[in-house]
Amino acid sequence: MPMIQRRQVIPGDVVAKGNYRFGSYIERHGDEYVALRVGIAEILRDEIKLSPLTGPYLPRTDDEVIGKVVDVNGFGWVVDINSCFDGFLPASFVFGRDFSPATHDLSSKFKVGDIIGTRIESFERSRDPQLSIRGQGYGKIESGEIVKISPTKVPRIIGRRGAMINLINERTGCDIKVGQNGVVVVDGSPEGIVKAVKAIRLVEEETRAPDLISKVEEALGGSAVGGI
């Protein structure tokens, strides 16, 4: 098995020298690769990656996000997706190609204040991100408790192949939806929600803990499936 080097870096640190492929949060200066964020850099054989430990949510195509409708106009909905850019969900993506503002009532589908699960259809630097609800599992979220976490901690909440989220779901009976933008919706019994939110907060605070999942397991207690 090839070895990976993991380095804790801060902005300005040279992650590696030489020739690598590199992702976001890294800039190339000559033959040096400079970290742009506080985070953990992984140096593989021919590639370097950086996972930041802090930062705002920036939209990326195909991200699944949870947002709040903040405005409805003749052509679609403006959605707050917990980012510096507002998302736009065009009405034609919802009603189909034969959409016309005269025949369709946009407010009948989503109203201002509704929470919706969407996917980022496209995002370029020059325009606000476009959203879509095509596909399974997208659309209005009717009930639940909204919890906002740091977007950099989303992978932790989900865990390895969904281990963490499955654990919380099993122990509290709550349905948990996680948006890549750091918005989490927890739905279930009132007692279950309280426990699940506590667990999520624990994951957020203890991101660095080596054996996070057993810590969460302990905090949730050995209670039966279905909550309480």
Partner 1 sequence: MKKLWEGAQLAGSKRKLIDENGIRLDGRKWNELRPIKLQVGVMKNADGSAYIEWGKNKIMAAVYGPKEVHPKHQVLPDRALLRCRYHMAPFSVDERKNPAPSRREIEISKVIREALVPAVVVEDYPRTAIEVWVEVLQSDGGSRVAGITAASLALADAGINMRDLVVGCSCGLIGEQVVSDLDDTEDKEGNGDMPVAIMPNLGQVGLLQVDGVYTRENFQKAFELAIEKGKEIYLMQREALTRRFFGGEAQTTEVEEGAE
Interface contacts to partner 1, rule CB under 8 A: 1-14, 25, 27, 29, 34, 36-38, 44, 52-56, 58, 84-85, 125-126, 152, 160, 208
> How near is the Cβ of 135 to partner 1 at its closest, in Å?
28
The minimum distance between CB 55 and partner 1, in angstroms, equals: 2
Which of 127, 134 has the CB closer to partner 1? 127
CB of 88 to partner 1, least distance (A): 14
CB of 108 to partner 1, least distance (A): 29
Residue 27 beta carbon to partner 1: minimum distance, rounded to whole angstroms: 6
The Cα 219–Cα 64 span in angstroms is: 29
Q: Are 97 and 110 in contact (CB under 8 A)?
A: no
Q: Which is nearer to partner 1, 54 or 61 (CB)?
A: 54
Q: What token pair was written down for 42?
A: 């992984």
Nearer to partner 1, 45 or 97 (CB): 45
CB of 8 to partner 1, least distance (A): 4
- Closest to partner 1 by CB, 68 vs 104, is 68
Question: What strand order describes the sheet that includes 21-22?
Answer: 21-22, 47-52, 39-43
d(CA 107, CA 120): 21
In angstroms, the CA 224 to CA 34 distance is 49
Q: C-alpha dihedral over 110, 115, 116, 117, to 10 degrees?
A: -170
- Rg, C-alpha atoms of the chain: 20
DSSP one-letter code for 83:
B
Q: Which of 57, 90, 87 is nearest to 69 (CA)?
A: 87
Contacts of 224 (CB under 8 A, 6+ apart): none
- Name the residue nearer to partner 1 (CB basis): 58 or 146: 58
Between 86 and 191, name the residue whose CB sits nearer to partner 1: 86
Query: In Å, what is the CA distance from 87 to each residue of 119, 140, 142, 149?
Result: 10, 15, 20, 19
Contacts of 198 (CB under 8 A, 6+ apart): 219
